[in-house]
A and B are shown apart, each in its own frame.
Chain A
Amino acid sequence: MRPAAALAALALAACEDHRTITLLLGPDDHTLTAGFACRAETGELLVERSHRDADYTFQLVIDTVELGATFPGCRGEEVLAACADQPCDLIGRYCTTVTIPETDIADPASILAALHAQIGHPSLITDAPDQPIVVRAVTTLQSCAELTPGDGSLPRLDPDQAVGCAYSCPVILDDLRGSLGLALDTLDDHCAPQVRQCARFGS
């Protein structure tokens, strides 16, 4: 019986195509998206709000937002329009605290290196849904305890405490190969409103 069960398990495993997609916090694995370098109307970098002593400390939150049956385009307007017709639920969240030395904050490559040095390459989604989703990364001053209370609920983010945000195009991860890049729909670095809007998205 055991060999038969093992054989069945082997056959089942042979019928699975296991893939891994890497999430990039920018257009490629060496570049940080402009969504994490936005300035407020005053000209201050939003990330400065997380400056404590000689470091910048904030929470990196990566949310998975389900788009249901719709498959909108990449532009923020299209995503928001899709979510206006139906609820776009948060189905997964990863949250961790990140501390970047102030010596590295001006260099995106250093920021990425520090980030991976602290948190490695954690698994964000296991067995992605077979329908369109949007992956959003938010840097916020809200604590992980507040955002992942442990009761299974996923509280909405406070847009006013977000210091950076970027999101992916709507995608079915099963159809994707390689990596998934994040970006913020902005034309210059005065993109605090877009960060707020980005952090507000998703119910």
Chain B
Amino acid sequence: MVICALAIAVVGAVGCAARPAHPIPLAVLVEGAPPAKLPEVAGLAPHALVLPPSPPAPADRTAGPLARARKAYAAGDFDTCRAELARIDVAEALAAGERDAAARALAFDAACAWGGQGVTAARAIAARLAAYGLALPDAAIAPDIEAVIGEALVAAGNARGYPIAVRGEPGARLRVDGRPPVCALPCTVDLVPGDHVLAVSADGFADAHRQLRITDRAEITLAQPPADPALAAAQWRARAGRGLPALDAIGARLIARLGEPRVAVLTGDPATRSGALIIDGAIAASASAASDATLLRELAYEAGVLHRPTLWQRPWFWIAVSGVALGVAAGIAALTYQPTVVTDLTL
């Protein structure tokens, strides 16, 4: 009976915990300080995932030409002034939110055009500045061109706007003429006639902008290319920096852009870890555990990466069965035990 119970324990120990034939690769991204060594989990081959460095900040491409244009304007060299200002992509500056730089560039451009006797061009530039809704910059330009710009601003302020329906990646933030985001796509904005710059930004995608001239109501679509891994990592970090959850659907989509099919993201203190397993851009499982190994195993079970062992495949089940068998055996032995009787006969 006791041998039977022990045999049950041995068979159970050998048979329990089915594992895949080959360990399944699993990228592990640890928020904060990564552990020195990733835990070993049967059936999984975890490897550390390191976020690529953030792309460098774009260089200031407006300051140099603006300084040189101002200098040329002061010297009366209007051609050089306009040539320098032509190096500045005003639309790009507005898409980046640099409204002050754009206003200065357009104001100097108008002033240099005016100084070069290009009155029509100067008025057109002033109208463009006004359509963008830019303020007259605090710059040293001639009073007459200031008056022209002021007239353009008044005209733009009195103009009737047209509804412009903008489509693109759902939820993308729309910025108009470098202002702070006004709405999330799809949405409709009222724009006065003239030139405008529409820019969109969304996590998981590269920023995009488009310059267009509004003459009537219109419907436009702004397409955004998917973010490359470096940009996705930067956006993921930026979300965390803004206090947004690192492991929501958008965070999962950003992690998926890193190129790993399965990523386990561990957050929190090592003693109270929580995490999520992201598979193909979606959160397949989330869990909390006291140790990284337990957390990874639970995530793998929850997401179906590993098959959770059935009751009879768990060591504790066989330990319990063996214990019960031993108990029953001991009980039966106790109930049926008959000691050897040794009887003596004396007179």
Contact = CB atoms under 8 A, between A and B. Distances in A.
Interface in A82-129: 94, 116, 119, 121-128
Contact of A124 (B339, B340, B347): B347
Interface in A4-22: 14-22
30 contacts: A14-B339, A15-B340, A16-B339, A17-B340, A17-B341, A17-B342, A19-B344, A20-B344, A20-B346, A21-B343, A21-B345, A22-B347, A23-B347, A25-B347, A62-B347, A116-B347, A119-B347, A123-B344, A124-B345, A124-B346, A125-B343, A125-B344, A126-B344, A127-B342, A128-B343, A128-B344, A173-B343, A174-B341, A176-B343, A180-B345
A135 interface: yes
Nearest to B345: A125
Interface in A164-203: 173-174, 176, 180
Nearest to B340: A16
A174 B344 CA distance: 9
Interface in B320-342: 339-342
A81 to B, nearest CB: 25
Contact of B345 (A18, A116, A119, A128): A128
Leading 10 A-B pairs by shortest Cβ distance: A125-B345, A174-B341, A128-B343, A17-B339, A173-B343, A124-B345, A19-B343, A17-B341, A20-B344, A21-B345
Contacts of B346: 20-23, 121-124
B interface, size bucket: under 10
Contact of B343 (A15, A20, A94): A20
B118 to A, nearest CB: 113
Interface in A131-174: 135, 173-174
A15 B347 CA distance: 26
A21 to B, nearest CB: 5
Contacts of A64: 345
Contacts of A15: 339-340
| Centre residue among B339, B344, B345 by max chain A CB count within 10 A | B345
B2 to A, nearest CB: 14
Nearest to A126: B344
B343 to A, nearest CB: 4
A123 to B, nearest CB: 5
A21 B345 CA distance: 5
Contacts of B342: 16-19, 127
Interface string B282-324: 0000000000000000000000000000000000000000000
A127 B347 contact: no
| Centre residue among B340, B342, B346 by max chain A CB count within 10 A | B346
Contacts of A20: 343-346
B340 A123 contact: no
Given A17-B341, A124-B346, A174-B343, 13 more contacts: A15-B340, A16-B341, A19-B343, A20-B343, A20-B344, A20-B345, A20-B346, A119-B347, A121-B347, A125-B345, A127-B344, A130-B341, A176-B343
Contacts of B341: 16-17, 19, 130, 174
Nearest to A62: B347
B344 to A, nearest CB: 5
B315 to A, nearest CB: 31
Contacts of B344: 18-21, 123, 125-128
B339 A123 contact: no
B334 to A, nearest CB: 13
Contacts of A94: 347
Contacts of A19: 341-344
A122 B339 CA distance: 26
Nearest to A122: B347
B346 to A, nearest CB: 5
A116 B339 CA distance: 33
B337 to A, nearest CB: 8
Nearest to B344: A20
Contacts of A135: 345
A176 B344 CA distance: 11
Contacts of B343: 19-21, 125, 127-128, 173-174, 176
B124 to A, nearest CB: 109
Contacts of B339: 14-17
A122 B347 CA distance: 6
Contacts of B347: 22-23, 25, 62, 94, 116, 119, 121-122, 124
